[in-house]
Every structure is written in C-alpha cells, then in structure tokens.
Amino acid sequence: MMMATVDAASFDVIVIGGGHAGAEAAWASCNLLREVWLDSGGRAGRVALVTIDPGKTGVMSCNPAIGGLAKGQIVRELDALGGLMPLAADATGIQFRVLNRSKGPAVRGPRCQSDKYAYAREVQRLLGTRENLTVVTGAVEDLVVEGGRCAGVGVRTAEGVVGLRGGAVVLTTGTFMRGLMHTGERTEEGGRVGEKPAVGISASLAGLGFELARLKTGTPPRLKAGTIDFASLERQPGDDEPEAFSDLSAHPLAGEFGLADQAAYGRVAERFPVLEQRDCWITRTSRAVHNVIRANLERAPMYNGQIETAGPRYCPSIEDKVVRFADREAHHVFLEPESLETDEIYCNGISTSLPGDVQERVVRGMPGCERAEILRYGYAVEYDMVPPHQIDATTMTKRLPGLFLAGQINGTSGYEEAAGQGLLAGLNAVRWLRGEDFVRFGREEAYIGVLMDDLVTKIPREPYRMFTSRAEHRLLLRADNAWDRLAGRAHGWGLLDEAHSALYRRREAASLAARRVLASATVDGVGLGQWLRRPDAAEDRVAAVVAAGSGDALAAHGSVLRSLIADERYRGYIERQRREVERLREHETTALPTDLDYATVSGLRTEAALALNRFRPATLGQASRIEGVNPSDLMLVRVRVLRGDQRRAS
C-alpha cells in the first residue's frame, strides 16, 4: 500500500471513504485486481482509497462490537467471500459470545466486543498488505462525468484540488455528507467528534440529479471505568469456548495453508483469541432517571424541533425509550469496555443528544454509576443520504453508470450492513470494468441479498438495520453454513486470496468426508443421522465419531461440524424452505424492462404505477415487495411483459 497525494493519476477503482464499507470495498477490489488482467496494460489493477484522515480508517464510531443477531451472519458471509472484517474482528476481540445459543441455529448470532483502537489499526494493517492500493489524503469535492459515466473525482488536499481518474467509483460517505452533530442546544458541523463534514459531494450529487434525504443516528456517553462500582453490578462474561468469525482463525490445520508465514494472517493463526478477554456489566435506568429525562424533553433536539429527521427505530435514544415505553420502569444498560489500552466504557442502551448536565444526572442515577465520570458526552448526528431506489441490487446507481454506493449513504445503520454493501460494491465495480455480469445475491442465498433487496424495494423512513426476522429463508442462511453457500462462488469470481482459496479447497474435501461418515456410521445401534436428531445428542460425541470415521481433523471442527449437524437435525424444515424457494423462482427470475413506463400498463392502479416507476424493479419478484403493489398489479405487469416478449419473438 502506498500513501500519496496524486494529481491527475489514473486508477481502476476509486473508493471514497475509509469506514467499514470503504475498507471492505477497497479490500475486495484489490483482491480481484491483484493479478494482471488483459485490459490493464500488463500490470495489476490499481485501487485508490480517498479519505480525509487515513489514521481513522476502520474506526468504530459508535459501539465497539462486531456481529450479533443477523449481523453475525453477515460477518460470516464476509468471511466466506474473503472479506476483511472477520479477520480484524478475530484479531482484536476482547469478548466473544454467541447470542441466542439456546435457540435454533437459524437465529444464533456470533458477536465480539472489540478493542476499538486495535481494530482500526488491524484494518489499516491488513489494507497495508495490498501492494496495489494507494491511500490518498483529502476530501472529495465533486464527481467527474464523461461520456455518460462516472470517470473520476475531484479531491481537495492540503496542496489544493487535484483530479483522480477512475474506471469506477465507490462512494461510502458514512455520516459525513453535510453532517451536523447535536448535544442539547449546541450544534457543530461534522460527521464524527473532531472531524469536519463532507459538503461538496452532496452538492455534486444533487447537481447530477440525485435525490437526497436526511437521516439521524446517535451515540451514548463514554464513562471512566475507574469511577464505576463494578462490584455492585451483574457481570456478563464471554463464552468459555469462544467461536471465531473467520474459518482462518486458530484453525487446527492453519500451518497447512502457510498462514503463519503470511503478513495478513500471522496474528490470528498463532492463537485465538489473540487478546486478553474482558467482561461486560449490566446496570439499568430507573423511574427517577426517566423523570429527569421527561422533565428535560424541551432541551432534547429530537423533541424541541431542532432535529426533524428520522432516527433508528431499533436502536432508539433513551429519550425515545422513555416516551415510547412510558409504562416501563427501567431499561437495561450494558457497560462495555472499549479497549485494553484505555479505561473508556461504552454505555450501550442510553444513546442520547440531551445536554451534558442532563446526561450526568441520567448516568449517575444508574446503579454502580453514582460517581461515574463522563469522558465524552453522547450526541446525535444528522447527515445526507441517497434514497436507495436510485441504485439496483448491485449497488450501482441507475442514473450514473460506474458510480457505486455503499453503507450509510444508502440509508443503513451498522458496521456489518456497511461492510456487506462495501464488499459487493467493490466486487461489482471490478466486474463492471471487465464487462462481466454483475453479482446479485438472492434473498435465499445470503443476508447480504436480503439487505440489498430490502434497500431497493423499500422507502427508507429510518436507518435500516438487519434482523433475522427480515429473512424468510433464514434456516438456509445460518452462520454455520456461510462457507457452504458462498465460498465456491467467491472462489470462481477470483475474490478469494491465496489463504482463503486454500482453505476453501481443503474445507470442501473435509465436508465431503464428514457427510460420508454421516451416511455410514452408527451410534448406539442406529445410524448417525437418526441419532443426531435426538435431543440429547452431544456435539462432542458427534465430533469424535466424525473424526474417527473420516481421519480428518477439519471434518470434525468448527463450522464444518456445526453445518453438518444443523443440516441433519433440521433436514425436513430445510427441504420445505428449498421447495418454497423453487416455487418462487419464476417470479424472482422474470426480468422487467428497464424502460417500461408503468403508467401505460392497462388497468394498473395509479399508486402501483407511481411506486414501480420510482423503484424500477429488476424482476417481478422485486416488484412484489414494493410498498403499494398488490398481487393484482403483479398479474397485470406480468401479462404486459409476456406480451412484449411474444411481440419481440414474432
């Protein structure tokens, strides 16, 4: 990786923004372009990462954690696709837990508490192993359009405005587009504390005809650990046997892939977990705290008219909780360590933009926090976004070919949702350059597919967050089978680097060996598959049988074993979901014309025509999920499309 300020330089892919979406987009692009390809003039493809402050690349702006319910599944998918986030999370996690462990595998979510400073450094270190990546320090002011496509960017640097030419541009602006922060009555321009907003890019997008909107998110206060009485609080430890996000982490056969010799994977391959593990702690608000908040609502930006944009419904501020759930006498608050290097504590559960003096009364009204010192007050931030009906499920904009959008600019919240979009954007940016077919994930293939389909068929009234309940085929989209679902395709696209490719090939052989044992072995006089469906069938005994029968340590390890067990235990339900997927496949694969004016479809309701013309769905399946479109409307559209096909055929 090179650090540079480059004038009139040319790159294959330009990534704007060094957050979680931007880091993943740059990583994926570099991996795809690492080898010489025909149109490159005999060189590896070049990627530029443009960021205002390279030292903030990969920074955790809010919660110092990766994964969770549905989010953990996305991180596992990123691992199967050769992504960056799982590696960084495994190398810097200070607590690992599987949420919903007592429930079925479809809703279990791996999560880790991260050392936020170590995480950002690890992201930067991993990106630094990519020799075809150049980091450019500066703020993007405008987009360059030539021949009806995005052809580069103008960047304001310390030396002035410079131009970068690019074959494709990936825009990942986070909360920085005209960002405005609020703490009580005080406002400050910026996308994050101490960092300036990006103003020019909003004007550039609007000038190109893009519709913009505003959203809001928030963050809680940070406390000084030494001022908290942890002895009086409930301890929340990590799992005794932590599970990694990446199948490359602490693998029993890590040496087989030469991981210890590779700069990108050495730390994780040595041991897992890498860092010292820490506990979290649980406290709560109270009726007295709620009364303090109610008495100061006129000083809360969300309630005095200072902020009029929508915030995240599923990660509400403490003000919202008190108003919306007025009958609740208390809300849990999780005190989470932010780093091994500092004594900062993240107060998960009291995101707020109340004035500082009110935040102090709220914090000190919680058990164990009576003498707590606030190191940084919570705040809300408003920012521009591009309503995602203007992109398709590849992340490329419909209005401007060659421009891809990923992360909060598309109306999502969360590091994991951003990273999933970033990887897809980087992948499709390179495929667009090469003239290859775009990659679109179906709702039955990946949580990333559910995410993208929801974005391009829904009106964003609030920041979008992923849940397992959004995935109708979630038994097919488990955390344990992410490699089975996606790694083969990623390998075929050239997305996997050497280490991931080696593991993919080795893992395929191990999985086949494990399933042969499943078909032939017996336990207690019955077939292993039948025995597995017993409620008392222990995983460690299954592992012993598979290891002995296959002679392969990998076949009885980690996600290979967990996937084998889940597939067998839930075989009937899984087969039922697959039949449902096949039944719906005709709708999902019936393409709709990109130039069809739905107002001309005979009999179609005005509401449906307006919605379809706004979202421009790619398939009949997507059209069925657009708000305002009913089954009768779909029948009329289908008839119109079939008639058009018949006319062209004749």
Residues flagged as binding site for NAD(+) = 311-325
CA distance 42 to 44: 7
Q: Residue 438 burial (CB < 10 Å; 0-12/13-18/19+)?
A: middle
- Return the ∠ at Cα 68 (arms to 64 and 73), rounded to 5°: 125
Q: Is residue 114 within 8 Å of 36, Cβ to Cβ?
A: no
Q: Is residue 57 within 8 Å of 20, Cβ to Cβ?
A: no
Tell me the binding residues for FAD: 17-22
Q: Indicate the residue type of 591.
A: A
CA distance 125 to 391: 32
CA distance 141 to 161: 8
Q: Is residue 443 within 8 Å of 473, Cβ to Cβ?
A: yes
| Secondary-structure percent of the chain, ordered helix, strand, coil, rounded to 5 | 40, 20, 35
Q: Which two tokens stand for residue 264?
A: 């990108």
Task: Please count the other Cβ atoms lying within 10 Å of the Cβ belonging to residue 275.
Answer: 18
Q: Which two tokens stand for residue 106?
A: 């479809």
Q: Is residue 285 within 8 Å of 362, Cβ to Cβ?
A: yes
Tell me the binding residues: 17-22, 311-325
Between the CA of residue 460 and those of 9, 385, 411, 412, what are the distances in Å? 37, 10, 6, 9
Give the three-class secondary structure for 191.
Answer: coil
User: In terms of DSSP bridges, do strands 332-337 and 403-405 run parallel, antiparallel, or are they unpaired?
Assistant: unpaired
- Return the ∠ at Cα 122 (arms to 120 and 126), rounded to 5°: 120
CA distance 582 to 570: 19
Task: Please count the other Cβ atoms lying within 10 Å of the Cβ belonging to residue 339.
Answer: 20
Q: What size, in residues, is the chain?
A: 650
Bridge partners (DSSP) listed for residue 156: 139, 161
